[in-house]
A = this chain, B = another copy of it.
Amino acid sequence: MQRPSGRLPNELRPITITRHYTKHAEGSVLVEFGDTKVLCNASVVPGVPPFLRGQGQGWLTAEYGMLPRSTGSRMGREAARGKQGGRTVEIQRLIGRSLRAAVDLKQLGENTIHIDCDVIQADGGTRTASITGAWVALADAIAHLEANQLVNGKPMLRAIASVSVGIYQGEPVLDLDYPEDSNADTDMNVVIADDGGMIEVQGTAEAEPFTEEQFSAMLKLAKDGIAELNRLQKAALER
């Protein structure tokens, strides 16, 4: 089996994490997994949604979008069609759920953190790149809250990162790019914390069902890949 990119089965694409990418957001990160480029902004907004008011805790929510020509052929703009598509909704719920697992909402005070992941260029794995980059933006936003004494405690519970794995031509591979993703038998997105705790596992058989052995092999790849991503996240935060 030869991957289209020539990578080894357990090899990530080149990863770049650029902080302070835009000037307005409290956390702003451009994350690149090879040719996949996502701008992840974390915005701090005072107040919480109605269902949480008066409970002294915070909230985190995420939205995801693709620029119309982030893809090989132009997609219709969701704002113009008046509706977010089902895939968009599914992805932004995953991002929000994953990042909420990284923070202690009770320590946030009555603040809401809005995560916006906007895909500038897509080449497979936009949702996992989004989660990985957004966690760094979130860390900067929480540091901003702490530096301005807008929170008392330590809202950040753990680092999380995410990567996709799959079965490509019968073999488990890490971090699928678009040519692999569009031909994979199975596609799995995994979110894991830096202490190895599992946050999300979403495996989908695209053509053929997968076996438990394949599942275990994919999970192993994901764990190693995410450990590397955790290192890159921390290095970025130390710069």
Which residues of A line the B interface, CB within 8 A?
22-25, 28, 35, 37, 39, 41, 43, 45, 63, 65, 67-74, 77-80, 82-84, 86-90, 92-93, 97, 101, 114, 116, 118, 120-122, 158, 188, 192-193, 195-205, 208-212, 215, 219
Contacts and interface: CB of A to CB of B under 8 A. Distances in A.
A23 to B, nearest CB: 6
A157 to B, nearest CB: 10
Number of identical protomers: 6
15 contacts: A22-B120, A24-B122, A41-B67, A41-B68, A43-B69, A45-B74, A63-B80, A65-B79, A69-B114, A78-B79, A86-B89, A86-B92, A86-B93, A90-B93, A198-B205
Contacts of A205: 101, 197-200
Contacts of A79: 65, 77-79, 83-84, 88
Contacts of A78: 79
Contacts of A82: 82-83
A116 B200 contact: no
A200 B187 CA distance: 10
A197 B215 contact: no
A22 B92 CA distance: 23
A23 B90 contact: no
Contacts of A22: 37, 69-70, 120-121
A22 to B, nearest CB: 5
Given A89-B86, A198-B210, A202-B201, A39 B25 contact: no
Contacts of A87: 93
A191 to B, nearest CB: 9
Given A69-B28, A80-B84, A93-B90, A43 B74 contact: yes
B201 A97 contact: no
Contacts of A197: 205, 208-211
Contacts of A43: 68-69, 74
B93 A77 contact: no
B63 A24 contact: no
A71 B28 CA distance: 12
Given A72-B24, A82-B82, A67 B116 contact: yes
A2 B48 CA distance: 36
A193 to B, nearest CB: 5
